[in-house]
Structure 1
Amino acid sequence: MSPIDQSIPTRRGAVPRGLLQTGPVLFSYGFRPFFLGGAIWACITMVLWITALTGQIEIADAYGLYAWHAHEMLFGFGSAILAGFFLTAVPNWTGRLPVSGWPLAGLFSLWCLGRLAMLAPDVIGVLPAAMLDALFLPALLIISAREIIAGKQWKNLKVLIGVGVLTAANLGFHYETIAIGAPDYASRFGISAYIALVCVIGGRIIPSFTRNWLAKQGATRFPTPFDRFDMITILTSVAALLIWSVSPEGRITAIAAGIAAAIQFARLYRWRGWTTTRETLVTILHVAYLFVPLGFMAIAAAALGWIDRASAMHVLTVGTMSGMMLAVMTRATRGHTGRQLTASKMTNLCYAAILLCALIRPLSAILSAHLDVIYASAGLLWLSAFGLYLIEYGPMLIRVRRQTMG
């Protein structure tokens, strides 16, 4: 394994941070192990899911195949990418060196332990598996809170609310699965936590990255900066998500989701995404965020009984969550490994695959006679998206950072 980029001595007993010690490159920055591990797990879980659906293997029979699949996408794959983002973004917010070395390796090991435990509830028991899985998110929450508080970035503490809700949703997921066999409420609260984080953090990075790119192109018109309208949009969306999480059916849910969709469309329009089409590394952020209002529309349609709940949830989980995660993974990996901030042909194929997956998977609501084709197509597109990411970006994640930008 290659050594990390720099070796700067620290006082004895100090917690290693940033590029302060020799060791594997993989544990020099939070995005490296978690983006790599998350992408690998995204592929593994999809292969296992498809294989189990066809009856060739049995997975987590004591926990329930469908519950396992939902959990590992939301709290397995999703939590890894969230961790990679937070452990990379928080140092930028606080100005502190990133957590690295053995603390980062320990946190990543905790995530891996959860994945192994969730594969083996038939062997170690459902409750022990759930307990081992439940260790990771609280640890991530504590580390993130410590860094933000130490950096006195009080305004950024609000993003930890989403991580806290996600942590509680994970515990609720296990409880509902074990107690009643149907993680209904916890699934919606978990999805809502991710969407709320996209609304908050996306509102920072999308107009910022768009403005930076447009400025380099000599543009004179830029995205509207964060203002009261954005705050109203976030609060309206969080309220709609809360209503949906508690009561997914009914006119009130449909109205709340419809209002949130309309105001989110307006917010996205203010960011002028159509002006960035020459650079898909920027455009994909806008396209992924488009699935926020589309997801609210799907919630409204499901609340009125026009489509099934699962299809509405997949608009949010595949389109919004996974689309935005892949967009952030590609950009952050390029930027933090010294590559040029431009999308390659393979990166564009990654984007195309995840977007097609997001569009095809909800078709099961209206093309029920072709479920096998829809599931197979969506699964292959998912594997293509994250498989191509691993092929192109995997080597970047385990190699020393380039000293100069391309």
Structure 2
Amino acid sequence: MSILRFRPDAPPALLSYGFRPFFLLGALYAGLAVLIWLPMLRGALETQSLFAPLDWHIHEMLYGYLAAILTGFLLTAIPNWTGRRPVQGYPLLGLALLWIAGRIAVFFSADIGWLATTVIDCAFLTAVTAAAMIEIMNGRNWRNLMVIIPVSIFALSNILFHLEAHFAGVSDMARRLGIGAAVVLIVLIGGRIIPGFTRNWLARENPGRLPAPVSRFDMATVLLTAFSLALWTLAPATLATGFLLMIAAAFNAVRLARWAGYRALRDPLVMILHLGYVFVPVGLLLVGWQIVDPARLSPAAGIHALGAGAIGVMTLAVMVRATLGHTGRALRAGPAGCAVFTAVLIAAMTRIVAGLNLAGPWLVELSGAAWAAAFIGFVLLYGPMLLGPRVERQAP
């Protein structure tokens, strides 16, 4: 999509569009937070957080890293949906500082208290949700208003996370609600961008079969996925939940097959989107299977298939593509970009295998190292593009 032109007194490049500060901050934090988490997992490091160590890890992956990337995506996509000017300059800086304040507050919550931490941390997603809703409504872009539903649920799950952690000592329902909202966003948005980008590439480079057009099957898949994840949130141990999640996995697998991804093997920027979506049915299947047969499967496998896999791979794929496209670069991953994609795929797959208890605990460290390499690699490779001005579009 085209990017809006700005006035001569436009702000610095970093504050000209939402994807710039939030992709940079989110990627850097994704790598550093996992490097902090690994020694915490082994008992070698402690935070000043009121959260239990596992709660801190889950919270910061969802409401730290993912919240930043989601914000960058929304603040970049909404102006293209509505034709309105993007949030930029001081308002964008204010949102970035609010996100940073949330990370500091959560890390040092034992010093500032749970209520102050909750207010500071939850203010960010509340502000982002409100800004997104106002922009979409002012632009009368009713078609995309449905995106606000999972975004709002994601923001509410952060509030619930703080309340559960304080009053119950550990989060429970909020974890599943946050992951579920994120997966619904991937299913909803992925269903637009993956077949769209695939169709564009195939029409230009490999004429023949194209992705199936959007149909009632796609809507049924989205609704079934949302309903099964809602049931998982409320009743995570019932057989009905397990079987419904596995049915949703089958629907998403068929949906992915309809997008003709195998015909775009020569374009890493397209293929990584398909590979990222693979983790949606895999994750739903593993979560459902664990509910049906808990003696044979650990919950960690399915959770990390959805988290490190679907969320991690899909967000990184979108970050790379959006950074290249919106800064005027050619849409080519190149060897370095492929290395970043490979690292995040290794991180996801090894963490799933570790969750299946098929190898030793060293796989967790390998997964964490690969994850950090992928996201810090993104910062090193694409950070200068995010910090610098837009260049003239190069030939594809």
1:281-296 paired onto structure 2 within 5 Å? 281-296=269-284
- Contact between 1:87 and 1:144, CA under 8 Å: does it hold in 2? yes
Match of 1:91 among 73, 76, 79: 79
1:192/1:366 Cα in 2 relative to 1: closer, same or farther (>3 Å)?
closer
The residue number in structure 1 matching 2:174 is 186
In the alignment, residue 197 of structure 1 is paired with which amino acid?
L
Task: Give the drift of 1:81.
Answer: 0.3
Q: Is the 8 A contact 2:48 2:111 kept in 1?
A: no
Using the TM superposition, give the Cα deviation of residue 252 of structure 1 relative to its aligned residue in structure 2, in angstroms: 0.6
What is the distance in 2 between the residues matched to 1:52 and 1:320?
A: 24
Pairwise CA distance, 1:6: 7.2
User: Counterpart in 2 of 1:155?
Assistant: 143
Q: Following TM superposition, by how much is the alpha carbon of 1:76 offset from its aligned partner in structure 2, in angstroms?
A: 0.5
Q: Is the 8 A contact 1:249 1:302 kept in 2?
A: no
Aligned pair partner of 1:111 in 78, 94, 99: 99
Q: Indicate yes or no: 2:365 matched with 1:376.
A: yes
**Cα pair 2:11 2:88 within 8 Å, conserved:** no
CA 1:229–1:108: 2 relative to 1, 3 Å: same
Asked if the contact 1:323–1:355 (Cα under 8 Å) also holds between the matched residues in 2, the reply is yes
Cα drift, residue 208 of structure 1 = 0.6
Q: Which residue of 2 aligns with 1:405?
A: 394
**Offset at residue 369 of structure 1 (A):** 6.7
Give, in whole Å, the separation in 1 of the partners of 2:43 and 2:282.
34
How far the C-alpha of 1:375 sits from its partner, in A, is 1.5
DSSP-derived class of the 1:134 partner = helix
Query: What is residue 329 of structure 1 aligned with on the other side?
Result: 319
State the SS of the aligned residue for 2:393.
coil
Q: Is the 8 A contact 1:207 1:223 kept in 2?
A: yes
Structure 2 equivalent of residue 347 of structure 1? 337
Secondary structure of 1:348's counterpart equals helix
Corresponding position of 1:267: 255
Per-residue deviation, 1:26: 0.4
Q: What is the SS of the residue equivalent to 1:307?
A: coil
Structure 1 unaligned runs (5+)? 9-19
Structure 2 equivalent of residue 15 of structure 1:
none
* Alpha-carbon displacement from aligned partner over 1:313-365 (angstroms, at most 9, x marks no partner): 11101110111000000000000001110111111111111111111112233
* Residue pair 1:315, 1:358 contacting (<8 A) in 2 also: yes
Against the structure 1 CA distance between its residues 218 and 352, is the aligned structure 2 distance closer, same or farther, given a 3 Å change threshold? Answer: closer
- TM-score where L is the length of structure 2: 0.95
Letter in 2 for 1:31: F
Aligned to 1:12: none
Residue by residue over 1:369-395, the C-alpha shift from the partner in whole angstroms, topping out at 9 and shown as x without a partner, is 712x02211110101110111111011
User: Aligned residues: percent identity?
Assistant: 41
- Which region of structure 1 is more displaced relative to structure 2, 230-239 or 54-63? 54-63
Aligned residue for 1:26? 14
Give the counterpart of 1:42 among 6, 30, 55: 30
* Structure 2: gaps of 5 or more residues: none
Cα contact 1:247–1:253 (8 A) shared by 2: yes
Whole-angstrom distance in 1 between the partners of 2:206 and 2:369: 40
The answer on 1:78 being equivalent to 2:78 is: no
Distance 1:101 1:34 in 2: 13
In the other structure, the counterpart of 2:350 is: 360
Q: Answer yes or no: is the 8 Å Cα contact 1:21–1:101 preserved in 2.
A: no
C-alpha distance in 1, partners of 2:27/2:275?
20
Name the CA shift for 1:369/1:229 in 2 (closer, same or farther; >3 Å).
closer
Letter in 1 for 2:386: L
1:138-217 superposed matches below 5 A: 138-217=126-205
Residues 250 and 303 of structure 1 are in contact (CA less than 8 Å); yes or no, is this contact kept in structure 2? yes
SS at match of 2:81: helix
- Residues 1:314 and 1:218: Cα distance change in structure 2 (over 3 Å): closer
Shift of 1:58: 1.3
Q: Does 1:102 align with 2:90?
A: yes
Moved more, 88-97 or 275-284: 88-97
Separation in 1 of the partners of 2:208 and 2:51?
Answer: 56
Measure, in 2, the Cα distance between the counterparts of 1:344 and 1:369: 33
Residue 63 of structure 1, CA deviation = 2.1
Preserved contact between residue 6 and residue 22 of structure 1 (Cα < 8 Å): no
Write the distance in 2 (CA, Å) between the matches of 1:405 and 1:150: 34
| Secondary structure, counterpart of 1:100 in structure 2 | coil
Residue pair 1:188, 1:244 contacting (<8 A) in 2 also: yes
1:303 alignment counterpart: 291
The number of residue pairs the alignment matches comes to: 390
Q: Could you report, residue by residue, the CA deviation over 1:231-264 in whole angstroms, capped at 9, with x for unpaired residues?
A: 1111111111111111222321121011111111
The aligned amino acid for 1:351 is F
What's the offset of the Cα at 1:139? 0.3
Secondary structure of 2:282's match?
helix
Q: Distance in 1 between matches of 2:48 and 2:261?
A: 43
Give the conservation status (yes or no) of the 8 Å contact 1:188–1:245: yes
Q: For the residues of structure 1 that align with 2:242 and 2:235, how far apart are their CA atoms?
A: 10
Q: Does 1:395 align with 2:395?
A: no
CA contact (8 A) 1:6 1:21 kept: no
For 2:149 and 2:53, the matched residues in 1 are separated by 30
Q: Distance in 2 between matches of 1:60 and 1:100?
A: 33
Aligned equivalents of 1:311, 1:7: Cα separation in 2 = 46
Equivalent residue letter for 2:308: V
SS in 2 for 1:378: helix
Which position in structure 2 is the counterpart of 1:129? Answer: 117
Q: Are 1:313 and 2:334 an aligned pair?
A: no
